[in-house]
Amino acid sequence: MDLLTQLDNDIDLLLKIMSSSIAYVSRKASHTQLPGSDVPIALLGRTEAVPPPVMSESINELVQDLVQKANEVKQIILHLPDDNLSLLPPEQEQDLKSLQDQMLEANREYKEAIAEAGE
């Protein structure tokens, strides 16, 4: 598997871990109203509150998982080639420069279209 595909997969997994962590904490937390607050608690769905020590352990484990996956993503990024195109074969370097020019042109056209739509 190439580095970009691996990076894409790992970022996707990192986002899944993050969203699952938020869902878990929301579902398992004991929701209480803040002292002096008039804002009512609105819960969506069913909650299964766990004791604070269990919640604290769970959050620590979730944080470790997030940090581990973030470090894996960081390592992949460190192994990606830098923007020094002189290390690439000449035809690949030319292809990348051409793609960059096309991207810049597409961005310019997009900004023009946004400006026209705003008028």
Q: Residue by residue, what is the 3-state secondary structure of 49-74?
A: CCCHHHHHHHHHHHHHHHHHHHHHHH
CA distances for 77 relative to 6, 48, 70, 74, angstroms: 10, 38, 11, 5
d(CA 73, CA 67): 10
Question: In a structure prediction context, what are the per-residue pLDDT tens digits for the chain, which is 119 residues long?
Answer: 788 899 999 999 999 999 999 988 888 888 777 788 888 777 666 778 888 899 999 999 999 999 999 999 999 998 887 766 566 678 887 888 899 999 999 999 999 999 888 87
Sole residue written with tokens 């970009």: 4
Q: CA torsion, points 16, 42, 56, 36, in degrees to nearest 10?
A: 140
Query: What's the pLDDT score for residue 107?
Result: 95
Look up residue 119 and give its two tokens. 């008028």
